[in-house]
Structure 1
């Protein structure tokens, strides 16, 4: 017995088939949209500490089983086989050819890197292979200087030599004994008397969680590339003529400092010689002649009386451009520093060799020097077991290049409409149409034809959203000055399939891999035999650099950093005449680019002026523009004011191209501010965005899909003087915390307990006026999303005449000299107590005001 008639069964079968096909199309559309949206929405940038491990002296082990070869190979890594993991490792490879014919081949280095796989972010280890072409003359030798990323806690590398046919003719296994217990501060020492600086070795910092290790260097052994210096944390130059360094070495030092290195220079009797290579860039005035001074090293080191800590020294008193005091002796700035990119340049009055005897007896002076110079944040980063050169950047740049092109998002509604239409047509629509005309025998073939047509429509609709090969998301920072243009580009390389693919890159760029790790990863490192197939092969050829990816997974990201330095022959960038005095900025700004730029802004220390759009060659008057006060170390809150992302606080639509564009620019500008403007800086930084979204300059060919943002920056000197008066920040030197919980890097206090801070107003001026600047309303509103609010409550100044604290109105933001006289110490310090209003809705991350001081030069 039939439950349903035959024709009805046909309709049901066709409808069921249509439902299945429609569901498949809908799932495909939603899956594609989810995948792209997941890329677009992932914007968490995590700041992690870098892993600081060290390596003990070891032997270079030859591999067994190799046939006799006329080529001999010797490898030295690090600095005389001294190195730490998680950094780029310099390799010196000496190759000698004993045959009577030239050798042409490839030098290969195999290294293992931890990495996070796919969207699950599972930790795995990949093998990276680096290839360098090499030619050895007949009966001759060559030396190759390489720099290869050394993964955290990875204790070996393999160096191989291949001939033109790809046959292995030599191999060395580098076995490193890494010390996982104690992080170390690597100090490169460049001095004509290095034995007098041995006291710098083995000093415990931060309760001995970080221990110094000095590494002797000479003019001949100092690397001539920034990567060659990557193993160092501090480069100390004292009692040395820097004029003996080559131009490449000097540029390498500057590049290294810009990346986060600390350059520490001792002057003393040879100040002009020691500063010869750097004076023009860091000094406000020419190097003076050395003189005799009595330096008070600190009352805590006195034995028989306060004078017991004073020692006579030959010193050179120099003045840094925008420098801040680190250590002082009465009214003298013994050690001053200035920020340079992500790094620090510091200069002392004395020669570090001259204080050796004192430091050997008072080793805590070295601890105090480095603790004050480096700061808490940098020391904690170096002390952390996670400290590693690449891993910080991996988490920082992830939000920059894990986005995507909105045009690649499928139109889900269109797919759903097509699916519903197909079900209606293939089911009752076509059935009743055929039945009405007596053509039911053609019903099933018609359903098949309709299915093919709908399938074809689905394929056609997906043509614009389907990736057919490797594609790139990038974030580029181009810094232009009168001499050159420096470009740093971060790229996210992906492919829509799990099969090998090649990409050729522009040979003008230097390529660095960026690999990831998890916090406090203590999982065992897998065995590395050198026989594992490489996931990434980077070939540095004469005609360019190529990347081969093998078995990395479909849509799995591989991050790289690319750098290029060129001369500024076209004169691009921003120039101007900028004056800053009494909280107002005047002058002009000129756009020297041959294209329109957007979101132009001028960044000063904790201040920002929004300019907006500028046409090519346009010059703007800055006199009537509004100044916004913020916090440089909360770069995101200031960046979203510039890019317009703050307007989308309540309406974050991932499908809105304007919102996504503002978010991308905010992430990039925030990254720039956090990494290049985190400390005090006296110059103005002009930032703007290019309108181009598909630049392909880093690729050798333009046949790939690219999407990203380009940030344009320039540095302009600022005049802070007017009518014989000097205007400067009172935050150049971090306030001395007398009590309470205060985080100097962010200028924030925590909790209900009062905070007492001693501000150093500078010994170079007679204070005439003091200003307190609070967060501007628009920035304060953005800061609330990061659980940070401006200070409100009571403020007290310490009165040196009465020995008590006097209350002051927090609404008063300006105090003249007559108001300040009882509260200024002989050393030009002001002690302020802040008591937060407990009725507020926050008791943490309370932003304190920024102090500026105006006065006449002494």
Structure 2
């Protein structure tokens, strides 16, 4: 009888448990999730991309969060959250962008799920089951390929350009309006965007701004002509290098690849005023056909002709001409990723890692020795005589122990007072100022004072970052850092932070309407004179002018104030800054932290921003401010914030100079174009040394901007190189051929204007051959000449 009662009670319990569990499971199974990753399912490893997620609800009203796990590298992961609200019987589509996705993450066979659904806020941890896609499964574009997105009213018009792209290791992607995200990080997998008579104006304002920001962060826009460009291009029209206002017929000789005449002698073109500072790279008579300008770290190429109209669209040699044009011949940002090294790992090591050093009270060896002296030599004898006099020597045991405990507590309290009271936060920013906008990099690191969740919010700008490296498995992204975007601000939440632990968030950042330096300077007889007005909303504690390897400290400059400049340089003319390399030493004191931090900031400003931008070889004005460009705060905490930002602006100087000159390496701006091959390391101590795979490279050097605009005559060009694993040849700009250089040093004294372009560019082709040693010392140049007024 007892057994029957126990069996009945057991069955009854199972019935009620089943009744409690089944409704939740049934309700969650009414949610179906479908995702579309990237561009037609394709992305670049380590680069951002958009996601379209469709949520279908066949049950009761549902609101909650979806989390998408991602990994930027093998040891850095996070999750991107998006809130959904899907009424009963409805279907909704949402868009978001993921900052990066690593092939290491996709290939991890232990990961069975990367998409998670939560009822209500994800912070409440009410995870729900659902049906549909539970993993992101993008296809990866080969890292050696560039990517080009086509925006056209009819993509068939661009069939010749698609064929051209495939033949030149470029992945062609046909874009639609719903593929374009509302933040620039979603466009990061694209190297080029080509627009062919497509109404950008019908995009949402955030989509148009995303394209503008994508260009500023290194993208390349190719804009074809349209009958009504002002209305067609929307927000992009304001940044086009040419403002077309009339239609004319242009001869087509500039298209000819062979002496044979083209079947079409004229095409309609739209021309107008060319912006000051823009460059006309292709002409038809006096008419500009292709116009170019730099925009932030990116470029804008504009054609006077439609990119997809007849007769070009059916011309069989159109793709061949386009591939040889300067629009595709410039270095792409995929070639600037240090030979395939994960860009986030490189950026963390060079930039964000130094942000994780926090100031604290430190005791020197002398101070600790003094404590021991007082304790051993003063306390012990003092107690002995005192207690002997009082006849209380039996109390010595607890007094000595008590003194030791009090001393230890005191030392601990003094050393840890900053970390006990409140959490701390370091902010480091590096920005280029251009057109009243700041574009660059930001790193934010928190140091917890207690364990628990920490949410860091950002405002007053755009900040698209990724979490720093962690000791957690990449499969635990949603447990390490969760990113959320709001309309006016964004945030990252670090769950379950340990006691006295650091968390870092870093990446690209920008700010509109940020101000600038109003610079009115002239240079004559090695004297720089004029005024600088600080129109930024920041106070600069230190301000420098940097030309070549020489820096001059101008002092401090507060917001709204002006500074009179009267400085002497060692150079006849000023050039772009020359970085002496990076130091990865470990600081031993707070003074060394500050010193190393500024040295690294200067290195990254030049190598990651200046050298990768479209700035001409010009000197810079830069300064340090403790004011934050991107405002950050820890929600619900009274944190202590320490900020430091470097902001630089290029100097376009009015230079007066005549007489002989000599140019050395530190006055030349350089970059390496990869024809085929790759580089996987550049020396941290000297950027003129690299480790190269076997292959072919174009080593490009630029003269100072001021010199290229003067009436000059070159007398002597000397090129020196070392090693037997490279051969060098020099480009003749007049006929496009390369002159082999047989002996080092090679000295050229005749027809130098053929080897140095009108814009002051020298190109040396390097052929790296297999000699068992990847290390290559780049050729060194010395140029002599004369300037006449």
TM norm structure 2: 0.69
Say whether residues 1:88 and 2:48 are aligned partners.
yes
Q: Using the alignment, how far apart are the partners of 1:286 and 1:855 within structure 2? A: 37
Higher relative contact order, chain-length normalized (CA < 8 Å, sep 6+)? 1
CA distance in 2, matches of 1:541, 1:270: 35
- Aligned residue among 606, 623, 646 for 1:688: 623
Q: CA deviation at 1:491?
A: 0.7
Residues 156-235 of structure 1 aligned to structure 2 (within 5 Å): 157-163=114-120, 166-168=126-128, 170=130, 172-176=133-137, 178-179=139-140, 183-201=144-162, 211-219=169-177, 221-235=179-193
Aligned to 1:143: 93
Q: Look up the match of 1:704.
A: 639
C-alpha separation in 2, matches of 1:142 and 1:850? 64
2:481 counterpart (536, 540, 549): 536
CA distance in 1, matches of 2:630, 2:668: 40
| Cα shift at 1:212 | 1.6
Q: Is residue 235 of structure 2 the alignment partner of residue 292 of structure 1?
A: no
Q: Deviations over 1:472-502 (max 9, x none)?
A: 22112466678667785321234367x4332
- Distance between the aligned counterparts of 2:275 and 2:98, measured in 1? 35
Q: Deviation of residue 234 (structure 1)?
A: 1.0
Q: How many Å separate the matches in 2 of 1:457 and 1:825?
A: 71
**In 2, are the aligned partners of 1:235 and 1:264 still within 8 Å (CA)?**
yes
Task: Return the offset for 1:111.
Answer: 1.0
CA contact (8 A) 2:532 2:563 kept: yes
Q: Aligned in 2, Cα 1:364/1:233: closer, same or farther, shift over 3 Å?
A: same
Q: CA deviation at 1:631?
A: 6.3
1:239 corresponding residue in structure 2 = 197
Q: Do the aligned residues in 2 keep the contact of 1:337 with 1:347 (CA within 8 Å)?
A: yes
* Separation of aligned partners in 1, 2:690 and 2:479: 49
Cα 1:513–1:408 change in 2 (3 A) is: farther
1:237 touches 1:266 (CA, 8 Å); kept in 2? yes
CA contact (8 A) 1:472 1:705 kept: yes
Cα pair 1:596 1:616 within 8 Å, conserved: yes
Match of 1:589 in 2: 532
Distance, in Å, in 1 between the alignment partners of 2:621 and 2:334 is 30
Task: Kindly indicate whether residue 105 of structure 2 is the aligned counterpart of residue 130 of structure 1.
Answer: no
Asked whether the equivalents of residues 292 and 300 of structure 2 are also in contact (C-alpha less than 8 Å), the reply is yes
> How far has the Cα of 1:603 moved from its partner?
6.5
Contact 1:772 / 1:849 at 8 angstroms: preserved in 2? no
State the 1:415 CA deviation.
Answer: 2.6
The farther-off stretch of 615-624 and 328-337 is 328-337
Query: RMSD of aligned C-alpha atoms?
Result: 5.9
Which position in structure 2 is the counterpart of 1:337? 292
Structure 1 range deviating more: 500-509 or 264-273: 264-273
Shift of 1:90: 1.4
Indicate conservation of the 8 Å contact 1:733/1:760, yes or no: no
Residue of structure 1 equivalent to 2:554: 611
| Deviation readout 1:600-630 (Å, 9 max, x if unpaired) | 2456899977533224433334576648667
Equivalences, count? 699
Gaps of 5+ in 1: 1-63, 116-122, 519-524, 723-729, 738-742, 775-786, 788-794, 811-818, 835-841
Question: Structure 1 residues 290, 102: closer, same or farther in 2, change over 3 A?
Answer: farther
CA contact under 8 A between 1:190 and 1:235: conserved in structure 2?
Answer: yes
Secondary structure in 2 aligned to 1:462?
A: helix
TM-score, normalised by the number of residues in structure 1: 0.65
Return closer, same or farther for 1:580/1:511 CA change in 2, 3 Å cut-off. Answer: same
How far apart are the structure 2 equivalents of 1:129 and 1:664? Answer: 29
Report the Cα offset of residue 590 of structure 1.
1.1
| 1:397 corresponding residue in structure 2 | 351
Q: Which residue of 1 aligns with 2:496?
A: 550
Q: Does 1:281 align with 2:239?
A: yes
What is the rounded CA distance, in whole Å, between the counterparts of 2:247 and 2:552 in structure 1? Answer: 41
Aligned 8 A contact 2:161 2:318 in 1: no
Q: Look up the SS of the partner of 1:617 in the other structure.
A: coil
- Pick aligned residue for 2:330 from 357, 374, 384: 374
Q: Distance in 1 between matches of 2:702 and 2:456?
A: 54
Aligned pair in 2 of structure 1 residues 556, 435: CA closer, same or farther (>3 Å)? same
Q: Where does residue 26 of structure 1 map in the other structure?
A: none
**Closer/same/farther in 2, CA of residues 331 and 368 from structure 1, 3 Å limit:** same
* 8 A Cα contact 1:761 1:828, kept in partner: no
1:800-850 Cα distance to aligned partner (Å, 9 max, x none): 9xxx99xxxx9xxxxxxxx9999569996999899xxxxxxx994565368
Partner of 2:578: 634
Alignment check: 8 A CA contact 2:494 2:503 kept: no
The runs of 5 or more residues in structure 2 that have no matched partner are 1-23, 107-112, 658-666, 675-680, 692-697, 723-729, 765-774
